Amino acid sequence: LPRMQSSGSKPCPCPSFKLREVASMYFTMIAVFLVILVVALQGSAPRGSDFPYKVPLDPQGLLELSWNVSYPKEVVHFQLLIRDLRFGLLFGMSDRGEFENADLAVLWSDGHNSYFGDAWSDAQGQLHMDSQQDYQLLGARRAPEGLYLLFRRAFSTCDPKDYLIEDGTVHLIYGILEKPVHSVQAINVSALHRGLQRVQLLKPNITVPELPSDVKTMEITAPNVVIPSQETTYWCYMTELPDDFPKHHIIMYEPVITAGNEALVHHMEVFQCTAEFDSFPHYNGPCDSKMKPDRLNYCRHVLAAWAMGAQAFYYPKEAGLAFGGPGSSRYLRLEIHYHNPLVFKGRHDSSGIRLYYTATLRRYDAGIMELGLVYTPVMAIPPGEDAFILRGYCTDKCTRLALPAAGIRIFASQLHTHLAGRKVVTVLSRDGRERQVVNADGHYSPHFQEIRMLKEIVAVFPGDELITTCTYNTEDRSRATVGGFGILEEMCVNYVHYYPQTQLELCKSAVDPGYLHRYFNLVNRFNDEEVCTCPQVSVPQQFFSVPWNAFNRDVLKSLYGFAPISMHCNKSSAIRFP
């Protein structure tokens, strides 16, 4: 294999775009079109330990991506396994998984020779060779299982056509070339077999704590279920801990995926049921079935959560998640999201989560706290909005009341909205100034929610504020979207995992309902169309009847920005701190 020349990644600050275009045109001409002689190559597969993160890209498992991250060099190394190479492949990144305005690495063949290059697509999806080549080919080799393609990409390239790799969700896209093409420009993106996969590319570089000698494991897995032959299924399975199971600490968990189903198991969660009920019915079936007992809705306390592409989850050495013992329910609910777009039939699955736990309790119990907005219809998003912002507050008064003098330590976070959510960020504020980002996802997707270990532990002290901001897109909706539990209603939540556990389980806010009532009165006065603000009409109905002109939108935004808030500073069972 001849070594591929590359212009390399440019350090910032960059020269002007025109100068850079001229300077790199020479590299484009000599580097991009060098032939990659891969078909005849033989070789062993690269070591898996070199690429610790792995995810299938397509539902059939023909494309498998592995990668590693170098924070000192700010570079991601990719290894792409192509099991059935035809005439090439597109791989890249875009804002939300679209093939327009995408940043792409392209491997293509004209039927005689193969080529590799860095390309981009415009707003119409037309491909163009990039004048700055930032996907750098490192090698290609044949192995019995397929072709391995190795390349690298800097986090930031200073190229306006390139995607900025940052913390949070990254939408990876792929397309398979079924016919030879003579140039990148000749590729018709709309005619490709293509798809997307969501991952967290920039995994935190965390030292894994050593497991104690008395560690035990427990597998919470589906009982050989037949995956329904439909695109989306949420499967629920009830199980229980042994009788008189004493208190233990969960210190780690990892996925257990049935071989062959790696591309179908999208995400999984294990919930513990409330201790209010002595027993829960057994159930094994779709979560949305009318046959599912209502009592299963009381199994909502998250013990473990995994999403495709995630690795094992470790608790800090000082803390563990308590389960078992007095005041703890024996009943657990496993929920698995199967994503089966090719509608495979007859696939059996016994996937789930393996818990690692110990009877030697660590110094602290870990806790989970809800931050953000209360589930209430008073927080609403008008229709037709491309980036509407709502904020939820955990105020200084609440943290002063509820947190110990030494504070708490947040080590992990799970962001959550429903279908309109596009961005979520939580910041820590102290003495009126933002001090630290707790967790941020600028490309958030409601279809990819995982508990993420933070790169660094965040200390929160009495008097601190935690502000959670959610950005929504309702361009495809014709009426207001209100807050609530329904999938077409909205949420804005950050479940933070912390230690030591306190009584504070929920620290959230919403706009003062009295000020919202004033808003509806104002809309009545300034609009011809009648908005019924009678007490007997629900808040959602009032929002649905608002004529959404520019004035009503702007006033609602202003109201959410300045109106007093109703604060929920809650212990368990919704009991508020005084």
- Position 184, amino acid: V
Please tell me whether residue 404 adopts helix, strand or coil conformation. Answer: coil
Q: How many residues would you count in the chain?
A: 578
- Which run of H or of E encompasses 120? strand 114-121
CA–CA gap between residue 408 and residue 500 (Å, rounded): 6
In sequence order, the 6+-apart residues with CB closer than 8 A to the CB of 439 are 413, 415, 424, 425, 426, 452, 454, 494, 496
Exposed, middle or buried, 524 (CB in 10 Å: 0-12/13-18/19+)? middle
Residue 234 designated active-site: yes
Active-site residue, from 53, 234, 283, 515: 234
- Gap between the Cα atoms of 411 and 457, Å rounded: 5
**Phi, psi for 316 (deg, rounded to 5):** -60, 155
Cα gap 159→10, rounded to integer Å: 9
Catalytic residue flag (residue 416):
yes
**Do residues 109 and 130 lie in contact, with contact meaning Cβ atoms separated by under 8 Å?**
no
13 preceded by a cis bond (ω within 30 of 0):
yes
Residues 186 and 90 sit within 8 Å (Cβ to Cβ): no
Q: Could you tell me the end-to-end alpha-carbon distance of the chain, in angstroms, rounded to an integer?
A: 71
Cα–Cα distances in angstroms (integers) from residue 103 to residues 23, 106, 120, 138, 269, in the given order: 21, 10, 5, 19, 33
Q: Which of 53, 283, 339, 416 is catalytic?
A: 416
- Write out the catalytic residue numbers: 234, 416
